[in-house]
Amino acid sequence: MTWVNAVVQGLLLGGVYALYACGLSLVFGVLRIVNLAHGDLTVLAAFLALVVGQALGVHPLLTLLVVVPALAAAGYALQHAVLFPALRGGELAPLLVTFGLSVVLQNLLLEAFSADTRSLPAGTLGTAGLALTDLLSVGWLAVLTLGVAVAVLVGLQLLISRTAIGRAMRATSDDPETAQLMGLDDRKVYAVATAIAFATIAVAGVFSGMRGTFTPTLGPQLLIFAFEAVIIGGLGSLWGTLVGGLVLGVAQTVGAQIQPSYGVLAGHLVFLAVLAARPGGILRRAERR
């Protein structure tokens, strides 16, 4: 039963990882750059929710109303001011820029909030659960998080496949130069994509802040988990990202069941195994396009 429990908890944890990952996946899918500050932005969102929640005395879920638009605006501005100019500097510049940003964010957070461990007070939502059997129960917050992850991914999928801006994103991702020739403003398309990605980062930050603890230096860890979820599931596939998050979550909880210190390591090893055996991700069919 403990193993079943480990798998169930792993799936629920995977919801958090899928949430972390969808912003990374979206930015890579459209802009073809990997945002190395992704994890730190997630942590920033959690701290923002903490501050807003304390200032207004509201539940963390309500802070989403502030944190999501704030991060979306930050994403739009960041894309315009920093990432777009960096895109012209070849492959290296965006990586260097986002890495520098990661260092800056992390240390600003350290200065502002010290290295203390925090969490967002979820109240009864955080403690209440549903007993499935005598030995197996799931927390409502965990279930809600997984549900939100699925909803965000479905929403993104619909946005990308059904809407005009989604079509513009796909076209720009296919061929940015021709997209401009067809009247698309690449700068704006990128900025909107980044804003949407940052909105998902805000959601991820708030939910992971409620589910667990965070410190200013947690960002790199989150980036790695998000990255592993993306690669395990297969690049460029949002469903893959969900599956990748779930696989990573289960690997970690099952590893931790063997021995607590093996949790994260087990996740890394599963990632490396997928990379070795199925570099296109576990959902990708064997043949290459």
Partner 1 sequence: MNTGLTPLLRLVDVDAWYGHFQALRGIDLTVHDGETVAVIGANGAGKTTLLRSVMGTVTLSPQSRVELAGVELGSRRPHERVREGVTLVPEGRKLFPSLTVRENLEIAATRARGRWDLDSVYDLFPNLPLLARRAAGSLSGGEQQAVAIGRGLVANPRVLMLDEVSLGLAPVVVERLYGALAEIASSGMTMLVVEQDVGQALRIAKTVLCLRAGATVLAAPAAEVTAAAVTAAYFGASA
Partner 2 sequence: MTDAHIVRHTRTSRVATGVVVPLVVVLAALPYYAPGSVTRLLVDLFALVVLASMWNLLAGYGGMISVGQQGFLGIGAYTVLVADLVGLDPFLAVPIAALVAGLVALPTSFLVFRLYGGYFAIGTWVVAEVFRLLTVEVGAVGGGSGASVTGLSAYAPALRGAVIYWCALAALVAAVGGVFLLMRSRLGLALTAIRDEPTAADSLGVEVRSAKRIVFVLAAAGCGVAGAIIVLDSLRVQPDSVYGVQWSAFMIFMVVIGGLGTIEGPVIGAIVFFALQQLLSPFGSWYLVVLGAVAVLAALFARRGLFGLLTRGGDVRLFPTGYRVRAPTEAST
Specify whether the CB–CB gap between 152 and 144 falls below 8 A: no
| 171 in contact with partner 1 (CB under 8 A) | yes
Read off the amino acid at residue 142. A
Read off the amino acid at residue 46. A
Q: How far is the CB of 159 from partner 2 (least distance, A)?
A: 23
How far, in Å, are 21, 211, 218 from residue 225 at the CA level? 8, 16, 11
Q: Which does 96 bind (CB under 5 to 8 A by kind): partner 2, partner 1, none?
A: partner 2
String of DSSP letters for 180-229: HHTT--HHHHHHHHHHHHHHHHHHHHHHHHHHS-B-TT-HHHHHHHHHHH
| 174 in contact with partner 1 (CB under 8 A) | yes
Measured from the CB atom, the residue of 60 and 94 that comes closer to partner 2 is 94
Q: Which does 275 bind (CB under 5 to 8 A by kind): partner 2, partner 1, none?
A: partner 2
Q: Which does 85 bind (CB under 5 to 8 A by kind): partner 1, partner 2, none?
A: partner 2
Specify whether the CB–CB gap between 25 and 227 falls below 8 A: no
The site map against partner 1 for 107-146 (x = CB under 8 A) is ----------------------------------------
E-only strand ranges, 74-167: 129-131, 137-139
Q: How far is the CB of 262 from partner 2 (least distance, A)?
A: 8
The residue count of the chain comes to 289
In this structure, what token pair is assigned to residue 241?
């990202």
Q: Which does 168 bind (CB under 5 to 8 A by kind): partner 1, partner 2, none?
A: partner 1
Specify whether the CB–CB gap between 251 and 270 falls below 8 A: yes
Of 2, 13, 8, nearest in space to 141 by CA: 13
In this structure, what token pair is assigned to residue 205?
């930050």
Could you give the 3-state DSSP secondary structure of residue 247? helix
Q: How far is the CB of 71 from partner 2 (least distance, A)?
A: 19
Measured from the CB atom, the residue of 108 and 151 that comes closer to partner 2 is 108
Q: How far is the CB of 19 from partner 2 (least distance, A)?
A: 18
Determine the distance from the C-alpha atom of residue 78 to the mean position of all C-alpha atoms in its chain, rounded to a whole number: 18
Q: Which does 276 bind (CB under 5 to 8 A by kind): partner 1, partner 2, none?
A: partner 2
The site map against partner 1 for 181-200 (x = CB under 8 A) is xxxxxx--------------
Specify whether the CB–CB gap between 37 and 102 falls below 8 A: yes
Measured from the CB atom, the residue of 78 and 141 that comes closer to partner 2 is 78
Binding site for partner 2 (CB under 8 A): 28, 32-36, 82, 85-86, 89, 91-97, 99-104, 106-108, 110-111, 220, 223-224, 227-228, 231, 235, 261, 264-265, 268-269, 271-272, 275-276, 279
Q: How far is the CB of 98 from partner 2 (least distance, A)?
A: 8
The binding site for partner 1 (CB under 8 A) comprises: 164, 167-168, 170-171, 174-175, 177-186
